[in-house]
Amino acid sequence: MANGNPRRTKFPANHVGPQIQRLRRARGWSQAKLAERLQLNGLDVGRDVVARIECQIHCVRDKEILIFARTLGVDIARLFLSIEQQFLLGCSRP
């Protein structure tokens, strides 16, 4: 925060958010359930952070990507989609 205003991040702040959301929904988990499982794997986040990551307005650190992949039971590569795949799945934003 600078001068009481939140720091702005360029959009998108991450490239894994839409895929995290798809994988979470495929498992039938709520954002709160994913946050709980991430906490059990060592990442201290709440439902609000998961929501911001999925909306691509929160940055995800490299070490956090490892925890997301482990928690979701997928290879790290599954968290990344090409720009073409994102467009075809309707995840692209203007």
* Neighbouring C-alpha atoms within 13 Å toward the C-beta of 49: 15
Q: What domains, with CATH codes, occur in the chain? A: 17-88 (1.10.260.40)
Residues 6+ apart with CB under 8 A from 22: 89
pLDDT band, very low/low/confident/very high, at 93 (cuts 50, 70, 90): very low
Contact 51, 36 (CB under 8 A): no
Tens digits of residue pLDDT in 17-73: 999 999 999 999 999 999 999 999 999 999 999 999 999 999 999 999 999 999 999
